[in-house]
Structure 1
C-alpha cells in the first residue's frame, strides 16, 4: 500500500512537497482553501499530482497517513486542530525534503534578522569555492522541489521558525542561529518563550559531529543555552570577546577559527556595510570554514558579494534625495538595524500589518535621525501612538502616495528609507510586491 500523503497549502513549499512526494511514489493529494497561482497549477498538472483548490476534502485529509502543512498555516487553523485531535502526523516541507535528501549535507540558517543575507552569502562562499550546491528554503525555492528535480551534495537553506515548528528528524550538519528578537508573536500566543524554543529546534536533532554557530552577544540565545544543552560542536561569534573556536571581531579585524586553521580579515574589506552585517559576514565565514573552504576563497566571496533585492537596496537619487528599499524589514528590529546604519537625515516610511510591534525599540534612533515618518498602512494608529510629538507624521495609503509625501518632506542630502517594520499583507501581496511598487514610484518621480 502506498502511503497516503495530503499537502495542505499550494504555495511554493506545498507544490515542492507534492512534486517530491509524487516522485517518491506516495499517494499524494494537494488541497488549498483558496485558488492556486497559474504557475503552480500547471506544475502540479505536469507532475500528475491530484489537487483540490477552493476547499478541503475533510474525509481525505483526516484519513491521511501524514500531512505536510504549509508554513503559512497557523496552529489555530480549524483543519490543523482537527488533525491534531485525531493524532495525524503533521510535518513541514523541509522535513519531507530531509527524509529524501540521501547523503547530501545541509547548512541551515535561522534568526529573527539577517537570515536571507547570511544564507545568500554562505551560498556565494560555497559557489566561489566551486562546491556543487543549491540555495533553498525560505529564500524562495522549495527545498523539496530541489531534492526532487535537481539534487545536490550540499543545500544552503534559509529556515523560518514556522518551518521548524513541524520538523521531526530534520538535522542540519551546520546550523546557524544569528539572533532572536521578538517577532511573529501573533503565531506564538504572544509568548516570547514559545518563539525562542521554536528557533532552537534547528539544533534539536544535531549530534556531536555537527556544528552549531551562534551569536554569543545575544542574551536571549545565551540564557536559553544555559538552561538547554546543545549536543553539537559549538562555534560562537562575538564582537565583545575573543573566542577560541568560531569567530570574533576586535579592532575592526575579523578572526575565524574552526579546528586548527585561523583566518583574519579587515571589516573594511567586507562587501556588506553596517554593524549587523558584520555579524552576518562572520557567521557566513565561520560556516564556510566548517566546509573546509580555503581562506582565500572565503575572503574573495566576502569581498565580492552583492546585497539582496529589498534589503537595504539603493534605488535612485532624485534631486539630491537618496531612496533606499528595505522592504524586507518586516519587524521592528530589522528597522532598528536599518536606522542604525543611516548617516544622513532620514524620512522613514513605516507601516503595514502589525505583529505585536514594540516601537519603543527604535524611539531613540527616530529622535536622533528621523526628520519625518510617512505611515503606509490601512491602520496607522499604533505608529501615531508611539511617535506623536517625537517627529512629524504623514499618513498615506499606497506606495506611490508614500514616496510622493516623503519626497515633499525631503531636502537634498536626505535619505528616504522604506523600512516598514511590519508585514505587508494589508496593501501588498508580500514584501517583494511592496518593494517593487516603492521602486516603481521612485522611478515615476
Structure 2
C-alpha cells in the first residue's frame, strides 16, 4: 500500500458510488473508516455500508470526527470551496480522490481515459477490445463501478478507467501506463474560477506522474491539447492520433482507413464496418484501437472488435446534440436505483423524462438530486399521479404526456443551450412500450425527428 504506512483513520466524504467503493476498500485493508455525507445520501448506498457494518452519517458533517482522520477521501462532486474541505485543509490533513486512493492498493496496469466528450464511449470500446483479446480486466471509474470497488473485489490484469477532471484534481501518485486525452473544450468552469486554463491544467494531470515507460495518446487535431503539451515537461511517450493529417508515428485516418504506426510496425483497417457512426466515433475508435495496439493486441482482434462494438445502448447513451442540448437515452433505468445513478452523473441542468409502470417505488432518495440537477420534469405514462405527487414540489415546471413523441417535443421546448434532456424512467415500460429497448428506440427516433 503506497503512501499509507502511517494511516489509521480514514474519513470518506460523500455517500455515492465512489464513496462507498473507497469505504469498502479501506475497511478490507483494516483501516478505521467513517463516511460523512452532507446531503441526504442515497438509500442504496447507505444500505451497502450497513451490510458491511461501516459507520456513516448523512445530513451534515461531524467535524470533530472528520478532523481525527489521518486521510480524507473526497467524492469528485464536492468542490474544494465548501467549508468542510477548508477546515480539513486548515488542519493539515491530506485529501485525495477515490481513484488516487484505489491506485495505492494496486500495481496492475492502469489505462486512464479522459476528455470533455467521448470518454465513456472510448472507455467502453477499449474494454471491449481487451475482452475480445481474452485479457483479464475491469472497466469502471467515472462509469459503472468505482475503481476502489473493483480493486476491493479482486485482482485483474488491466484496469480500464474513465476519469473526470474532478477525479484528477485529487490525485497525487496516480500513474496510468496508458493515458488517453480525447479533447478539451470549456466545461465545468464554475469549478475552475471560470478560467479555462485551470480546467486544461486539471485534464493534463492525467500524465503528470507518467515516465518514459508510459504512453500519452492524444488528439493531435485539438489545438488546446497540442498547446498544453508544449507548455509541459511530459515524460511519457507521446502517441498522437489525427483525423486531419498523416502521421509518421501514431494513428491517422486516410481514405476511410485507420492506420497505426508504432515502433516501425504499421497496421491499417477500414472504417467501413465501424458500427458506431459519425466522425467523432471514428476518432473514438482510433483512440481505442491505438490503446489496444500498444498492448500488443493482434490486428485481426482489433478489426473484429471495431465491427462488433455496439456502443452503450439504453444506458446513459448520448443520442444527439441539438441546439447545444444533449439528449441522453437511459431507458434501461427501470427502477429508482438505476435512475439515481443517472441523475447523479448529470453535470448540466437537466430536463428529466420519467414514468411508466410504478412498482411501488420510493422516490424519496431522488429528492436531493432532483432539487440540485433537474430544471423540469416531463411525465411519460398512462398514470402519472405518483410522479406528480412525488416531485410536484421539486421543480417549477412539470408536464404530463402519454406518448414518446409528445414527451420529446415538450422536453425540446423546456430545454435551452447547455442543458441535458434525460430519459431515465425509474419505472417499467409495459404501459406504453413492449420493453425498455422499445422505449429507448422510440426515444431516439423521436429525438432524430425533431
- Residue aligning to 2:308: 304
CA distance in 2, matches of 1:108, 1:239: 22
Contact 1:30–1:52 under 8 Å retained in 2: yes
The verdict on how the C-alpha distance between 1:420 and 1:18 changes in structure 2, with shifts beyond 3 A counting, is: farther
Name the structure 2 match of 1:385: none
Q: Distance in 1 between matches of 2:244 and 2:265?
A: 22
Q: Please report how far the alpha carbon of residue 56 of structure 1 lies from its aligned counterpart in structure 2 after TM superposition.
A: 1.2
The answer to whether the aligner puts 1:326 opposite 2:319 as a matched pair is yes
TM-score relative to the length of structure 2: 0.74
Gaps of 5+ in 2: 1-5, 328-345, 350-373, 378-395, 430-435
Q: Is the 8 A contact 1:94 1:167 kept in 2?
A: yes
Structure 1 segment 216-295 matched on structure 2, within 5 A? 216-295=220-299
**Structure 1 match to 2:146:** 142
Distance 1:305 1:98 in 2: 28
1:28-427 alignment runs, 5 A limit: 28-101=33-106, 103-309=107-313, 326=319, 332=324, 377-378=375-376, 397-398=398-399, 400=401, 404-405=405-406, 422=418
Q: Which moved more, 1:260-269 or 1:67-76?
A: 260-269
Cα separation, 1, equivalents of 2:18 and 2:315: 23
Partners of 1:244 and 1:257 within 8 A in 2: yes
Distance 1:26 1:59 in 2: 18
RMSD (Å), alpha carbons: 3.3
Contact persistence 1:17–1:97 (CA under 8 A): yes
The C-alpha deviation readout for 1:43-89, integer Å capped at 9, x for no partner, is 21222311112221101112211100000111121111111222211
SS at the partner of 2:187? coil
Q: Secondary structure at the match of 1:52?
A: strand
Separation in 2 of the partners of 1:418 and 1:280? 31
Query: How many angstroms apart in 1 are the aligned matches of 2:93 and 2:409?
Result: 57
Contact 1:174 1:210 in 2 (8 A): yes
CA distance in 2, matches of 1:402, 1:377: 21
Does the CA contact (< 8 Å) of 1:403 and 1:442 recur in 2? yes
Match of 1:72, SS state, is coil
Contact 1:330 1:423 in 2 (8 A): no
Shift of 1:118: 0.4
In the TM superposition, residue 129 of structure 1 has moved relative to its aligned partner by: 0.1
Shift of 1:326: 2.5
Shift of 1:333: 9.1
How many Å apart are 1:248 and its aligned residue?
0.2
